Amino acid sequence: MPRESSSPAPGGEPSRPIRSWVRSSPGTHVWLAVIAVTSLSIALSPDDLDRYLLHRNSSNLHELSRNPVQALLGSAFWIENPASLLLYAVLFEVFHAPVERWLGTAKWLVVVATAHIAATLISQKVVLEAIQHHDVPRSMAHVVDIGVSYGLAASVGILTYRLPRPWRWFYLAGAVAFFAVPLVSNHTYTDLGHAISLLIGLAFWPLTWHTPGAADAAHLARPG
C-alpha cells in the first residue's frame, strides 16, 4: 500500500506561519479587525455621519460625563483618519503582537487597558483644570479624542524588558525621546497621555517576572 504523502498541499505552506502568528496573538488581531471595520464605516459615511460617530465615540470631557464606560471602551476602537489604518496595522504587528505572545493575552490586555483608561482620565483631568482656569476654551470639552495610541505606547514601554542588554537601553532611550520631545515642545494633552502610557508600560515590569527573556539579569547573577 503506497504511503500517504506528508508534503503540504500546493499553496498551503505559506499560509501556516501567518495563521500561527495570528493565533498566537488573538487579542491584537481581533482589536485590529474591529478598527478596520470602524475605519471602513468612517470612510464610507457622509461627512455629517462620520463626525457624529467620531464625537459619539470620543473619550472627551463631554462624553465621559455622560457615559464614562462607553466613552472609554468605544474610543479604543476608532481612529480619526481611516488612511492611517495601514500604519496602525504595522504598529500593532511590531509592538502589540510580540507583547501578547510573550506575556499572554490576559497580561497584555491588563497593560494596554490600564494605560488607555489611566492616560485618558489623567489627560482629560488636565483639560478640565485648564478650562476651569480659562487657559483653554470650553470647546475643548467636545474635541474628538479617540484612538489606540495610548495602548500602543504602553506596549512600547513593557516591550523594553523583552530585549537583551545592551540593546534594551538603546531601545528605551529612543522610546523616551520619541514621547518626551513632543510633550516638551507641544504641551498637548495627547502628548501627556502618551508619556503616561509609556510610564505605565514600564511600571508593569513585575508582570514580566518568570517570563522567558525578562529576568536575564537575575539569571546571570546566579553562580554558573
pLDDT by residue (tens digit) across 84-122?
Answer: 899 999 999 999 999 999 999 999 999 999 999 999 999
pTM over 0.85: no
Predicted pLDDT of residue 24:
84
User: Concatenated DSSP letters for 62-123?
Assistant: HHHHH-HHHHHHHGGG--S-GGGHHHHHHHIIIIIHHHHHHH-HHHHHHHHHHHHHHHHHHH
What's the pLDDT tens digit per position in 184-200? 988 888 999 999 999 99
The closest alpha carbon to 35, from 74, 77, 84, 68, belongs to: 77
Predicted pLDDT of residue 205:
93
pLDDT category of residue 4 using cuts at 50, 70 and 90:
very low
Quickly count: other Cβ atoms within 10 Å of residue 221's Cβ.
Answer: 8
Predicted pLDDT of residue 11:
41
What's the pLDDT tens digit per position in 138-155? 888 888 888 789 999 999
pLDDT category of residue 5 using cuts at 50, 70 and 90:
very low
What's the pLDDT tens digit per position in 44-86? 878 788 788 888 888 889 889 888 998 999 899 988 888 889 9
Is the model more confident about 159 or about 51?
A: 159
3-state secondary structure of 17: helix
For residue 13, pLDDT beyond 50:
no
Predicted pLDDT of residue 218:
37
Q: Greatest CA separation found in the chain?
A: 86
Predicted pLDDT of residue 15:
53
Amino acid at site 175: A
C-alpha 88/C-alpha 94 separation (Å) is: 10
